[in-house]
Amino acid sequence: VQLQASGGGLVQAGGSLRLSCQASGDTFGRLRVGWFRQAPGKERDFVALVGTLGHTVYADSVRGRFTISRDNAKNSGYLQMNSLRPEDTALYYCAAAKTLGRRWPPQTRNEFDYWGQGTLVTVSS
């Protein structure tokens, strides 16, 4: 499975962006899809997760502002980001995790099997 993230850009505080994660292959529907972000000089942190049945999990810092979703027919995942803040500035990565024998919810980097390249989100104040 290969993942391609897109949709990043420069936005003013309070604005919105929608990130997309396009997957190749025919197993996307059986994978959990997550988003992580990494700010300069910081660790790569969990942002949001959507399971194969649509259950969602969010980091406290984005809950109520970000919405994760998926469209299995399009092999795609999405992250709608509203009310953006300067502290949301980071490189955003989409990732996918297998489900067999795995715990729910996966929220650490090593629980994800596939990664896309990052897409940069910059929020100006």
Contacting residues for 47 by C-beta, under 8 A, at least 6 apart: 34, 35, 36, 37, 58, 59, 62, 66, 79, 92
Which residues are registered as beta bridge partners of 48?
35, 58
Which pLDDT tens digits describe the chain residue by residue (125 residues)?
999 999 999 999 999 999 999 999 878 999 999 999 999 999 999 999 999 999 999 999 999 999 999 999 999 999 999 999 999 999 999 999 999 999 999 999 999 999 999 999 999 99
Closest residue by Cα to residue 97 from 44, 27, 37, 6? 27
Cα angle: 97, vertex 99, 105; to 5 degrees = 75
